[in-house]
Amino acid sequence: MHGPASPGWLLVALCAATGAYCLLRLRSRVEEQRRSAGTEALMGFGMAAMAVPAAVFTPPPWAAAGYAAVFGAAALRALWAARADARHLHHLVGDAAMVYMALAMAASPGGHAHGGSGVPALTGVLLLYFTGYVLLSGVRLVPVAGVPAVPGGAVAWGDRPELSRACRLSMAIAMVAMLLTL
């Protein structure tokens, strides 16, 4: 994405760390964790690749089409999975946002995706969605008093629901940042 190098590298680090944690969740014994971990790892690493500052690396012309194809396929998979579990609709929106950003990159390889007329409507809708998701996810991370401990002792890193929520929260924050740079 286009913007200053320091925030770009922070986004790369955040998204790559999130993607790496999601890969750890693929080894979870909890099926619910494994179900979405692969999609979220792909999203984290894809966002990290898109966030590399343009001053450091200018992607080849075909990269935007590659992003669009990969995340278009992921969106179709999320749409298929949403038939059984509505939680995959968030993955569908995220994948669609990645396709949109890839197409915006292809349309304006040298600068911002839109002119001086303001924020395009789709960018605004996506910004509203992900900002709402960030706020809702932040509230869900607030500890609740009186919640009983997990039976059976310690929970593995890949099985911790609060970490998977934090993972999704960090990707939503990164998505807001990336949409703002369009």
Query: Would you say how long the chain is, in residues?
Result: 182
Helices 88-107, 161-180: inter-axial angle, 10-degree rounding: 30
The rounded distance, in Å, linking the Cα atoms of 16 and 90 is 20
Residue with tokens 């990969």: 70
Query: How high is the pLDDT of residue 116?
Result: 52
Query: How high is the pLDDT of residue 112?
Result: 47
Query: 119 and 106 in contact (C-beta within 8 Å)?
Result: no
pLDDT profile of the chain (182 residues), mean per 10: 74 94 86 82 94 85 93 95 89 95 81 56 95 93 62 63 85 94 84
Name the pTM for this structure: 0.84
For residue 156, what is the DSSP state? Answer: -
Query: How high is the pLDDT of residue 114?
Result: 47
